Amino acid sequence: MRYKPSASEKGKAGKGVEFGKYIHHVAEQIALGREVKEDVEEVKRIKKFISELNANELLTEIECSLPLGDYIIRGVIDLIAIYDDRIEIIDYKTDVSKNNHFEYVKQLSIYYHAVKEYYNKKTVCKIYYVSSDEVVEVEPLDLESIIKELKK
């Protein structure tokens, strides 16, 4: 699968939804140990990032749900890295800025509570901003704060 920007994506500040889908697909293939031959800079970054995780196990595209009061929140976790002493939840973002960072914190907070309950291990949340090759560890919101955000 090769990525070619569409006419509507060319010249934009971000790389678009299709590029994000492409990066997630490629990242999943890499995490599953499949060979990916691509010269896009973000793919090179993801290969390096995943190879340096050194986890016992990598789980990709994991569906999760979290019941919260009157809500059931569902999502798909990009990557779970399992270690002897912890679980790392990793979400890939292809944004060229951090304008949506708080929205991502809310998203990862939901994943955090679902995963922590399931594994009962120390759990860490990270956003990998692929375009800037930056990993940001996220302090998850508590359940009460998530519910308040949902009601907004």
φ, ψ of residue 60 in degrees (nearest 5): -115, 150
Is 5 inside a domain boundary? Answer: no
The DSSP symbol for 99 reads T
pLDDT of residue 14: 56
pLDDT of residue 75: 93
Q: What percent of the chain has pLDDT over 70?
A: 91
Report d(CA 2, CA 65) in Å as an integer.
32
Domain count, the chain: 1
pLDDT of residue 9: 43
Per-residue pLDDT, averaged over 36-59, amounts to 92
109-118 tens-digit pLDDT: 999 999 998 8
* Nearest residue to 124 via CA among 111, 143, 107: 111
pLDDT of residue 16: 78
Asked if residues 53 and 59 have their Cβ atoms less than 8 Å apart, the reply is no
CATH of the domain at 112: 3.90.320.10
pLDDT grade for 5, boundaries at 50, 70 and 90: very low
Is 7 inside a domain boundary? Answer: no
pLDDT of residue 92: 95
Domain that holds residue 118: 56-151
Is 20 inside a domain boundary? Answer: no
Higher pLDDT, 101 or 97: 101
The mean predicted confidence, pLDDT, of the chain is 88
118-142 tens-digit pLDDT: 898 999 999 999 999 999 999 999 9
Is 86 inside a domain boundary? Answer: yes
67-98 tens-digit pLDDT: 987 889 999 999 999 999 999 999 999 988 88
Q: What percent of the chain has pLDDT over 90?
A: 66
